[in-house]
Structure 1
């Protein structure tokens, strides 16, 4: 082995430098060589200090490496301070000792150097060709044998005979109580430290000869003292459970299989409640918070509950992420809810029961709001229950103590009966315009009336000292009157004015009609004002009009309801037999009158209004005395020539200046005057009181 070049050079440096260290201080005391040697010694001391730090590695080797410089400086200083070459030639002895010491410590200071040249190695022998060896077969994975019971050993043998699906080993087997063929297996990878990647439901089902739907593979739940992770799996094989679940599922299982997987995706069943008294079954469920608002398919949900969506038996209530599914034995909308005086009497907040929602809750309306007197909007086709609904509101206002006035465009028996319990009742567009003029004048009059504290205030039911009563004015068949050629434009203008300002003076405007469309004459301003200050009720709208009707009421598209069925009664069974025998179908029970929607919030709710039986009399629903305006209000109206018999023909100058005699051609029947008087109007105005209207109707019905 040859000596590295760096070692040879270092040895030569020690040998050559030793005489210089001894001679330089004695022969040339002021030589720069002495200065260089001493500076090198100082550098060596500094290197010692750095090497001695705690965080420095290899401190001993570094100190040995720098020691020749320090000792060389020491020899130089000693030689300069001795006389001559010193006693017994001490300077030469020190220099020779320095060289010997350097040669001695050199191996210890170089043994861990990173950049030293390695020794030359002997040449490697040429590779020899070896005969090919037969591959060693991989030893088969051995199943665990830890004193398991007979069932576990049997399953392990079966698992091994089936080829160990997914290269897994059966660790434990847990049977299910009462299910002889159901098992839960704990598996791990046959190779330690390897994940289980090839295990599938099909492979496990084939191993146990069961259906794929009877197998469920899960990750191992992490537990203290037991391994988990991708190298472990839990397998449930449950053919008996699934067979029982298909035949007689529990409510929770039925919900998971039939509802959570389709009609209400992701929902979790909470509980089922049966109300035997009301004959309704409630299902309560919820969806995870991260799913947001539940998504519900009503038609598929009705199918899962074995009903039809249009039977009116199924109702959904959503509250955040919770869902209430109410399934009635028979549609609550097909029931009749008799009106009572207790239900119609407003409470301390001005609310009263106008009917019942599809989920069985009371549907409430109000006689006033926090902004003043409440308006009203009733929309229904002919025969939809509009007069019944209006009667409920009239009774509630009367029981609250309000002054009620009623004007209708055309007389009928029910409105005439209601008129007996109002302060004023009349028929025709002329009567309606006079009523609206009085409402506008009352707003001016009430705006100047002083309260008990001597101040003028906006009307509020809870504020004491009010000098007047709340006033509710009902306008039946409003659009028909608004289309009147003589009075229609002013009727609409006055109605808009009352809808804007009336609430502040305790004046509520209740409008009833068959439409709220702008194209039918209902202005957007009037519709918006009524909508903002009332709880509209819409009854029995034709299917093709529902979208436009609720859009006109400001309902967002996602909350527009589906049409109501033509009948809430279930179809009679045996239709095939009737067809085979050639028998006619039974008559459809048209029992949807009074059914519709109440719009209190952003979403309409289905309701059935209370029923007030006019045939048995309605006196019991009203107070004994009819509230009227105060004497001061009547005097002010008389001073304005507005308080008189509104059924009489138009007064001279009431609707503008009278035409000159020469402008009239004498044809009274064919050419109406500017005042709006017509021959037909005079005939309609012959009814001067509610009792006369009832008598006229009875006479007509007896013809």
Structure 2
């Protein structure tokens, strides 16, 4: 221990390891050493190397949070909004747009049932409306997850077919903007001309899980948005029940792209922690304090204590909205979202949520974008026509699974596929050349290996991939751009 401070019953210990060592800790052992039976009173923040701050509170500092305001959800000059507060009172910021690079963002939100995922999605959608972002939303819980949002977004759906049509429309907008911006000599998105477009898929695990009818096409479309949308102002948000690979279409490439964005983890299941470290979402050696269902104190009770039932605390605060913002500067610092909506359940639409959305109409696409989005945009205010479009897509999909046309103006043969497809490259060299199209910049051998193994073919090892890189570069099939770095050949 190198320092100790205390104020108003809050104790802060600063600790460090010897030079050359890396700090590791076990939360249960730490609480035992401090003689603390309630682990939610303890917060540990590390620098990832040698030092850590251990903060001990008299009670959980996140037990009560204030309601969100429209000011909280208005972007600052860095494109960020305030979504909540960390245990130490520091605001937790989420970036909706990067004004420095002109990049649209990718968003990933995980949480078990009852963790507050729907309210967190509402918070993001409210912020989008406040900040003039055009929102496409598909609520795959048949509209029950975020019912207030139905009339607050530019384009809405509540079925798997509508989710695909939304994605196709967004991909068409992204492709049209690429061509339009190219003619203008523009290589990035400029906020204030075309609106930012965000596509939100809530309960997306229903669309991407094994056995889902449109899993392959949805995965390809999401990958295409993640790969091409950033520079043309088209972002993508996935809200899912779990972070397992199979919940995101079985696509390593998709997960690799999404985890570069804004990743928030609400209450999770016990099996997720190893997956977080393996995916690189959490630094090796770091731990997250588990988020319980409520903040009731755990007290040992003798079976001979006749009065124990009277002492049960049925009114213990819940933990809805508690989370870790894994892509922030403090990924291991627990935070809690600001309260969105009424505390008690309402019989209909929540008036507090509607008040946050405001009375102004949602931001819509411009004329050029609307033409690119096609029929689903043209008939966005006609529920009967949208149902007809979904039915037509369903029938066409069943008839054309062996083809490659989506029925919505996107040629799926031009997009990458995670499953078997005609004329797939079979040799390692051809697979490397094909996989390099996934690269967003110069990549090394290990990243190329990941891209190759994400193409759905037979798994290969690093050695054979390394052996092919120099010959392919010498033949001009890929480009060597630095020591150990390669890029697609022009």
TM-score of the superposed pair, with normalisation by structure 1: 0.49
CA positional deviation for 1:626: 1.2
CA positional deviation for 1:301: 4.0
Q: Which residue of 2 aligns with 1:523?
A: 251
CA distance in 2, matches of 1:556, 1:598: 13
Whether the aligned pair in 2 keeps the contact of 1:566 and 1:592 (CA below 8 Å) is: yes
CA distance in 2, matches of 1:439, 1:414: 22
Q: Which residue of 1 aligns with 2:226?
A: 499
In structure 2, the residue corresponding to 1:543 is in which secondary structure? Answer: coil
Q: Equivalent residues in 2 for 1:350-389 (5 A)?
A: 350-369=79-98, 370-371=100-101, 372-389=103-120
Whether the aligned pair in 1 keeps the contact of 2:162 and 2:390 (CA below 8 Å) is: no
The number of equivalent residue pairs is 382
CA distance in 1, matches of 2:302, 2:213: 59
Q: Rate the CA distance shift 1:440–1:550 in 2: closer, same or farther, 3 A.
A: same
CA positional deviation for 1:292: 5.0
User: Considering only aligned residues, what root-mean-square deviation do their CA atoms show, in Å?
Assistant: 3.2
Q: Rate the CA distance shift 1:362–1:582 in 2: closer, same or farther, 3 A.
A: closer
1:627 aligns with 2:363: yes
- 1:510 corresponds to which of 232, 237, 240: 237
Q: Which residue of 2 aligns with 1:618?
A: 353
Q: Unpaired runs of 5+ in structure 1?
A: 1-266, 659-672, 677-703
Structure 1: which 4+ aligned runs deviate by more than 6 Å?
A: none
Q: Equivalent residues in 2 for 1:86-105 (5 A)?
A: none
CA distance in 2, matches of 1:439, 1:343: 28
TM-score of the superposed pair, with normalisation by structure 2: 0.69
Whether the aligned pair in 2 keeps the contact of 1:538 and 1:598 (CA below 8 Å) is: yes
Whether the aligned pair in 2 keeps the contact of 1:299 and 1:309 (CA below 8 Å) is: no
Whether the aligned pair in 1 keeps the contact of 2:108 and 2:263 (CA below 8 Å) is: yes
Between Structure 1 and Structure 2, whose CA radius of gyration is higher? 1
- 1:416 corresponds to which of 147, 159, 174: 147
Higher helix share: 1
Q: Equivalent residues in 2 for 1:276-355 (5 A)?
A: 276=8, 281-287=10-16, 290=19, 293-294=22-23, 296=25, 298-308=27-37, 310=39, 312-319=40-47, 323-355=52-84
Ranked by relative contact order (alpha carbons within 8 Å, sequence separation 6 or more), the top structure is: 2
Q: Equivalent residues in 2 for 1:119-130 (5 A)?
A: none
Q: Deviations over 1:429-452 (max 9, x none)?
A: 11100000011100121123359x
1:471 aligns with 2:197: yes
- 1:455 corresponds to which of 185, 198, 202: 185
1:268 aligns with 2:2: yes
Whether the aligned pair in 1 keeps the contact of 2:38 and 2:298 (CA below 8 Å) is: no
CA distance in 2, matches of 1:360, 1:578: 43
CA positional deviation for 1:508: 0.5
CA distance in 2, matches of 1:325, 1:582: 33
Whether the aligned pair in 1 keeps the contact of 2:161 and 2:393 (CA below 8 Å) is: no
Whether the aligned pair in 1 keeps the contact of 2:19 and 2:50 (CA below 8 Å) is: no
Q: Which residue of 1 aligns with 2:469?
A: none
Q: Equivalent residues in 2 for 1:424-439 (5 A)?
A: 424-439=155-170
Q: Unpaired runs of 5+ in structure 2?
A: 343-349, 402-490
In structure 2, the residue corresponding to 1:449 is in which secondary structure? Answer: helix
CA positional deviation for 1:503: 0.7
CA distance in 2, matches of 1:657, 1:413: 28
CA positional deviation for 1:420: 1.9
Q: Rate the CA distance shift 1:647–1:653 in 2: closer, same or farther, 3 A.
A: closer
Q: Rate the CA distance shift 1:470–1:300 in 2: closer, same or farther, 3 A.
A: same
Whether the aligned pair in 2 keeps the contact of 1:515 and 1:549 (CA below 8 Å) is: no
In structure 1, the residue corresponding to 2:152 is in which secondary structure? Answer: coil
Q: Rate the CA distance shift 1:545–1:653 in 2: closer, same or farther, 3 A.
A: closer
Q: Rate the CA distance shift 1:411–1:268 in 2: closer, same or farther, 3 A.
A: same
Q: Which residue of 1 aligns with 2:387?
A: 648
